[in-house]
Amino acid sequence: MPRNRIIALLLAASCAPALAAPGDRNPQVSRIVEEISAQRIEATIRKLVSYGTRNSLSETESETRGVGAARRWIKSYLESCSKGTPLQVAFDTHHVESAPRVPRPTDIVNVVATLPGTQPESRDRVYIISGHYDSMPSSPTDGEKDAPGANDDASGTAVSMELACVMSKYKFDSTIVFMAVAGEEQGLLGSTGYAKAAKAKGMDVAGMFTNDIVGNTKGADGRVDRSRVRVFAEGVPSSKELPDNVIAALRTSGENDLPTRQLGRYVKEAGERYAQGIKVDLIWRRDRYLRGGDHFPFLEAGYAALRFTEPSEDWRHQHQNVRVEDGVQFGDLPEFVDFGYVAQVARVNAAALASLALAPSVPREVEMENLRLEADTTLRWKPNPEPDVAGYRIVWRETTSAAWQHSTDVGNVTRHTLTGVSKDDFIFGLQAYDRDGNLSVAAYPKPYRPAPATTPAK
Ligand SMILES: [Zn+2]
For residue 377, the CA-to-ligand 1 centroid distance in Å is 45
Instruction: Report residues of the chain scoring pLDDT below 50.
Output: 1, 8, 11-17
Residue 13 pLDDT: 46
- Give me the pLDDT at residue 458, please: 59
Alpha-carbon distance of 392 to 430, in angstroms, equals 7
Query: What pLDDT sits at residue 47?
Result: 98
Cα 185 to averaged position of ligand 1 atoms, centre (Å) = 7
CA pseudo-torsion sign 150, 152, 153, 158: positive
Asked whether the bond before 153 is cis by omega within 30 degrees of 0, the reply is: yes
Q: How far is CA 209 from CA 142, 185, 249, 438, 451, in A?
A: 28, 18, 24, 20, 40
pLDDT value of position 12: 46
Buried b (16+ CB within 10 A) or exposed e, 92-110: bebebeeeebbeeebebbb
C-alpha–C-alpha distance, residues 412 and 2, integer Å: 36
Dump strand ranges (E) for 58-105: 88-96
Give me ligand 1 centre to Cα 292, in Å: 8
H-type helices in 22-62, by residue range?
27-35, 38-49
Span from the CA of 184 to the centroid of ligand 1 (angstroms) = 7
Give SS3 for 180: strand
Q: Which burial class, exposed, middle or buried, applies to 137 when counting CB atoms under 10 A from its CB (0-12, 13-18, 19+)?
A: buried
Q: How many angstroms does the Cα of residue 352 sit away from the middle of ligand 1? A: 22
Q: In the prediction, which pLDDT does 455 show? A: 67
CA proximity to 341, closest of 123, 52, 38, 20: 38
Instruction: Give the pLDDT of residue 452.
Output: 75
Determine the Cα–Cα distance for residues 345 and 353; give it in Å rounded to an integer. Answer: 12
Residues with CB under 5 A from ligand 1 (ion): 152-153, 212
pLDDT score, position 450: 82
Residue 26 DSSP code: P
